[in-house]
Amino acid sequence: MSVHSAQFTVRGHGAFARLRLCRRGRQKPAADPLVPSPIPPAPYVDAPLVPGFRARFAGWVMRLVGWRVVLAQPVPLRCVVVFYPHTSNWDFPLGLMATWLVGIPFRFIAKDSLFATPLAPWLRRWGGIPVDRSGGTGVIARLAAELAQHDDFRLVVAPEGTRSLTPRWKSGFYHLARAANVPLGLAFIDYRRRETGVGGYLDLTGDLAADMARIAAFYADKTARRPEYVGPIRLD
């Protein structure tokens, strides 16, 4: 296995920081034109990308637990981000530490009942948006309007809609990205490699089968904390 390293300098909210890209193996071109082309590996974040206690704290926590953060660059100012596989309550604190480390204000949707608990102020502070999951409430239209009204809005969605086993993904993320005409970010958590972050971005084509094939190919080697709860990557 060949390993290559390269230095990148990126801007993170007014501060400069370095990323190290470590290729975990040489990518082979697809022999079959019907096979989705692979998404190149994203660089690791070796140090906080922004100043301040919160970013330093997140870096310390991730080093303590032995996890690494990756972040594909450049990060779109507006995008929908799917986070997969989501099977454990531990996914949230690890993801939160990753966002603090890179200093990018990701928003996320959560069931509205959580915002009726003492956690509500913290959820809002961390970027939470309450959503009624019962259906028929115009959620896609409301979130698309939010994306249109902001120059800086990155929305994270768990496409399964639950930590339990489901037979398919919910299609809201796809329709939202298409309605808002924004890229789709591919965020992941991998308990085998002990990595989390955003590994790449796709411009959805409207060819549902082709788009989902690329998404499934990206997540094929990602390992959940509870693999028995990982369902197939297909839409309802």
The answer to the question of residue 61 being in a domain is: no
Report pLDDT for 93: 96
Q: Across residues 175-203, what is the average pLDDT?
A: 96
User: Which residues are CB-neighbours of 46 under 8 A, at least 6 positions away?
Assistant: 18, 19, 20
State the pLDDT confidence band at 136, using cuts at 50, 70 and 90. Answer: low
The answer to the question of residue 58 being in a domain is: no
Check pLDDT > 80 for residue 54.
yes
Contacts 24+ apart (CB under 8 A), 49-55: 49/10, 49/12, 49/13, 49/15, 49/17, 49/101, 49/102, 49/103, 49/104, 50/12, 50/13, 50/14, 50/15, 50/17, 50/102, 50/103, 51/15, 52/103, 54/100, 55/100, 55/101, 55/103
If one compares 4 and 146, the residue with the highest pLDDT of the two is 146
Domain with residue 146: its CATH number is 3.40.50
The answer to the question of residue 224 being in a domain is: yes
For the stretch 158-181, pLDDT in tens is: 988 777 788 889 898 999 999 999
For the stretch 71-108, pLDDT in tens is: 999 999 999 999 999 999 999 999 999 999 999 999 99
The answer to the question of residue 4 being in a domain is: no
The proportion of the chain whose per-residue pLDDT surpasses 90, expressed as a percent, equals 60
Q: Across residues 6-15, what is the average pLDDT?
A: 36
State the pLDDT confidence band at 223, using cuts at 50, 70 and 90. Answer: very high
State the pLDDT confidence band at 4, using cuts at 50, 70 and 90. Answer: very low
How many distinct structural domains can be found in the chain? 1
Check pLDDT > 70 for residue 35.
no
pTM of full prediction above 0.85: no
Burial 206-235 (b: 16+ CB within 10 A, else e): eeeeebbebbebbbeebebbeeebbeebeb
Please name the residue that has the structure tokens 């971005």: 201
Q: Residue 82 belongs to what domain range?
A: 66-229
Check pLDDT > 70 for residue 144.
yes
Nearest to 209 by CA among 189, 185, 233: 233
Q: How far apart are the first and last CA of the chain?
A: 39
The answer to the question of residue 176 being in a domain is: yes
The answer to the question of residue 43 being in a domain is: no
Q: Range with the lowest mean pLDDT among 61-70, 74-83, 118-127?
A: 118-127
The answer to the question of residue 194 being in a domain is: yes
Q: Across residues 220-234, what is the average pLDDT?
A: 92
The answer to the question of residue 21 being in a domain is: no
